Amino acid sequence: MAYGEEMIKALKDRGQQLRRDCIRCIGVGVAGHVGGSCSSADLVAALYFHKMKVDPENPEWEGRDYFLLSKGHVAILQYAALAERGFFPVDDLPHCKDIGFYLQGHPHLGTPGIEAGTGSLGQGLSLGSGMALGLKMDGKPNRVYVLVGDGEMDEGQIWEAAMSSSAKKLDNLCAIIDNNGLQAQGRIEDRLPSEPIADKWRAFGWNVIEIDGHNMEEILTALDEAEGCKGRPTAIVAHTVKGKGISFAENQVGFHNRALTKEEYDKALEELA
């Protein structure tokens, strides 16, 4: 399917807007997950502003699609998307992580639009798999999307969920793997090499699509293809850049969860404008 230029541009702009929101969310002098938020921003923009059926007025609407942030440490990105989509005020974002506030460092149930508590890496795909199975058993058409980190794939539970999801033929389940090549402490290749990622998911019985995770047309095409695939779940392996859009953070392990100085904060917002 071809997508209009205007639509592609609008969604790319959304991605940049989410990145700016993340920077505002983190602020100055407080640790925050800039790198993994920026690598996933275009994927999340495509889901929340194009692909997924959601109703901000009624977050628990029965007809909704489900999104699970298995790499829950980038909660600020999901909060940015939910706020921009109208689930809660954008002005609340900078209060993220205030003691007792409803936007905490990892997503938790009770925040509008959050389907599960995530952030203990490895669990989100199992949760999504169970939801997809339940929806199927009830004969419902809702879809489930799970964003998984490439470092997160070190967790054995990811592969248990991968195996059972294909055994159960969960074609309403789509895992999106943010393949930015870095985890918290270094390059995936140096810590625990995971390549060939696509072949591994294929071997577990999944339909696999590899894309440039910053190319909006490729993202939309992959999401449509995933929806059309019958009899097995789809894994979209999205090649991305950690810290995408911020020159001094791109591909820098240090920006996994580093606090920004005032100068860095200003420069990041300037570059993302």
Where do contacts with ligand TPP occur on this chain (CB under 6 A)?
Answer: 35-36, 39, 71, 73-74, 119-122, 149-152, 178, 180, 182-184, 242
Distance of CA 228 to the CA centre of its chain: 21
Q: Nearest approach, Cβ of 22 to ligand TPP (angstroms)?
A: 12
User: Judged by CB, which is closer to ligand TPP: 28, or 31?
Assistant: 31
User: Judged by CB, which is closer to ligand TPP: 58, or 185?
Assistant: 185
112 cis-preceded (ω within 30 degrees of 0)? no
The phi and psi torsions of 176 (rounded to 5 degrees) equal -115, 120
Q: Nearest approach, Cβ of 128 to ligand TPP (angstroms)?
A: 15
Cα–Cα dist 261/27, whole Å? 9
CB 21 within 8 A of CB 93: yes
Q: Nearest approach, Cβ of 178 to ligand TPP (angstroms)?
A: 5
Q: Nearest approach, Cβ of 89 to ligand TPP (angstroms)?
A: 26
CA dist list (Å): 243 to 53, 118, 176, 206, 254:
28, 21, 18, 28, 10
User: Judged by CB, which is closer to ligand TPP: 189, or 266?
Assistant: 189
Q: Nearest approach, Cβ of 53 to ligand TPP (angstroms)?
A: 26
CB 196 within 8 A of CB 202: no
User: Judged by CB, which is closer to ligand TPP: 221, or 252?
Assistant: 252
Angle at 153 between CA 212 and CA 134, to 5 degrees: 95
User: Judged by CB, which is closer to ligand TPP: 124, or 130?
Assistant: 124
H/E segment holding residue 136: helix 124-137
Pull the structure tokens for residue 208: 């696999």
User: Judged by CB, which is closer to ligand TPP: 88, or 201?
Assistant: 201
Residue least distant from ligand TPP (Cβ): 149
Q: Nearest approach, Cβ of 240 to ligand TPP (angstroms)?
A: 8
